[in-house]
Structure formats: structure tokens, C-alpha cells
Amino acid sequence: MTIRPRTTPPGTATAGSGPRPHAGTLDDVRDLLHDRELVVLTGAGLSTDSGIPDYRGPGSPSRQPMTFQEFVGGEAAQQRYWARSHVGWARMRGAEPNAGHRAVAALDPRLLITQNVDGLHEAAGSRRVVALHGRIAEVVCLDCRVTSPRTRLQERLAAANPDWLSRHAGAEARPDGDVDLEDTRDFDVPGCEVCGGVLKPDVVFFGENVPAERVARCYAAVDVLGPDGGALVVAGSSLTVMSGLRFVRRAAKAGTPVVIVNRGATRGDELATLTLDAGCSTVLPVLAQDAAQRVAT
């Protein structure tokens, strides 16, 4: 990739971005982040180019995720979740990191905070990662708390429902590794192999709290940045939920620059130093190449 000259006028919003607060250009972002230590916060918009849909991106249909209270409310909800997820996981497990994931790994920030559960940052080589909402590749028993690989549960689900995948091969993909299915009443959900209890993906559902130790580690990394030598970069998140927005608020309160790269407005735009209406797979590789050239010289 060749980095283009810095010719665009500062403060000009990207075409089609609308009147977002603090709108800037890619050149503005590059200038601001020059030689700064980074903490990067990513959301579902970073994985859309890997074929995983998001909840709130421009043009995304309205989707409501299952809440924790709904999941634990009864067998029918658990049956519905796992029936959909069984099909979705068969697809999601084949997803590959895209240019945005690889660029974040190359940037090697002080800390990568991701709201995604797909594990693609780790697959791309990122080292210091906090998966705020967990990883969908693991399963936890709500009774005995034993964790196990999702691949093992997938085998058990397939054995208990041998024609499910072929019957629903055309189902529309949804975020978080599931699909759109209406009638799931005949889906058989096995229990925990240790105690027979209820199995749940080891991720934070809506209505659950992010574990305190994860939040504390992220706060600590943001606090170190400061207004002079660091910056928080948000990539591919609408910041609709507090789990990510809290770090933007923390950085802004300390005077640390905040850059938000996202297709469409976000809940954190008013707190940002710069916003850029663009795709992560376009912007992040440029930032990574800037950093690589600084190291080389």
C-alpha cells in the first residue's frame, strides 16, 4: 500500500458522513496519532469485512440480541438460542481475520480492548487483548461453572440433531454467530457433561456485567495514556452500550485525545477529538503503515 500525500483540507468530513461532531479526514487522524502510544477499542464493525454482520451499522436490519434474563428464564429460550447458534457457529468458525484485524496486530497497542467475541484479533496475532464480552469459542456450565471448548459442544449438538444444519443451511446470518430461525421447538440441547446443568456460551449477554477485573485492566491502560503522549482509538463501534463508552468517557475526562473511526455516527462522537466516517479495513492499514515507517526510520 502506498500512503498518499497529505493534501485534503483539515476538518473536512468524509463524503456521505453527514454532520458528525468533530469530523475530520484521514490525514487529520494520521497527524493527531503521529508518535502517540495507543489503546485501541474495537467493535462489531471491524469484523463485518470478515463476513460477520453487526447490530447497528448503516443498513443493518433491526435485531434484538437475547438477554441473559431471557436465556435463564426457561428451556424454550435456551433451545432457541442453541438451535440458532448451532447453525451460525458452523459458519463463524470459518471466518478469517481481515485487513483491519491484521492492522491492529501490526499497530501493537498498549492494550487492545475488543467488544467482539469472534476471536479474530487473536487469530490475527494481537498480543495484549482484553475480550470484554468473552469469547464464543468457549462454553460455561451455569451450575458447576466448568468451561469447555465450543467445538466439543458443536459435536454433541450435531449428534443430537443430525439433520439440523442441512435443513437450515439457507438461514440468514445474524451477529454474534447465530442465524434467523423461528421454529426451534424440536431442537435437542444436551446438558453439561460434568453435572448435567445448563450450558451457556462463555460470553457476556445483554443484562450481564462485564467482569470487574477486565474493566479494571482497561481503565488502567487508558489512564496511562494522558493528553500528551497517548490516544484512544475506537474502531468499528457505535458505542451504544456502556461497556465500551465508559473508556471513551474516561479518556475524554483526562484530556486524552479520542479518535473514532466508524461508518455512521456513534454515541461517543461529542466526546471525540476527531471522528472519521470510514471503514476500518481502509483506515487501520494506513495507520499501521505509518507506524511501521516511523520504526524503520
What residues in the chain have per-residue pLDDT under 70? 1-19, 54-64, 173-181
- Confidence (pLDDT) at 12: 35
> Could you give the residue range(s) of every CATH 3.40.50.1220 domain in the chain?
26-50+99-133+210-296
Fold annotation for 68-96+136-203? SIR2/SIRT2 'Small Domain' (3.30.1600)
Say whether 238 counts as a known binding-site residue: yes
- Confidence (pLDDT) at 55: 58
> Could you give the residue range(s) of every CATH 3.30.1600 domain in the chain?
68-96+136-203
- Confidence (pLDDT) at 14: 36
Q: Are 71 and 77 in contact (CB under 8 A)?
A: yes
Say whether 115 counts as a known binding-site residue: yes
- Confidence (pLDDT) at 4: 32
- Confidence (pLDDT) at 63: 58
CATH of span 26-50+99-133+210-296: 3.40.50.1220
CA distances, 130 to each of 39, 51, 113, 218 (Å): 11, 22, 5, 8
- Confidence (pLDDT) at 1: 29
Cell of 119: 476471536
Q: Are 53 and 174 in contact (CB under 8 A)?
A: yes
Q: Are 179 and 168 in contact (CB under 8 A)?
A: yes
Say whether 262 counts as a known binding-site residue: yes
Say whether 117 counts as a known binding-site residue: yes
- Confidence (pLDDT) at 3: 29
Residue 149 to residue 144: CA distance in whole angstroms: 15
Say whether 294 counts as a known binding-site residue: no
Radius of gyration, alpha carbons of the chain: 20
Report CA 227 to chain centroid distance, whole Å: 26
Instruction: Count Cβ atoms below 10 Å from residue 127 Cβ, excluding itself.
Output: 11
133 classed as catalytic? yes
Say whether 98 counts as a known binding-site residue: no
Q: Are 244 and 250 in contact (CB under 8 A)?
A: no
The label of the residue with cell 449428534 reads 159
Cell of 112: 487492545
Q: Which of 92, 172, 95 is nearest to 136 (CA)?
A: 92
Instruction: Count Cβ atoms below 10 Å from residue 241 Cβ, excluding itself.
Output: 18
Q: Are 54 and 60 in contact (CB under 8 A)?
A: yes
Q: Catalytic residue, from 22, 101, 121, 133: name it.
A: 133
Instruction: Count Cβ atoms below 10 Å from residue 294 Cβ, excluding itself.
Output: 10
- Confidence (pLDDT) at 184: 84
Say whether 116 counts as a known binding-site residue: yes
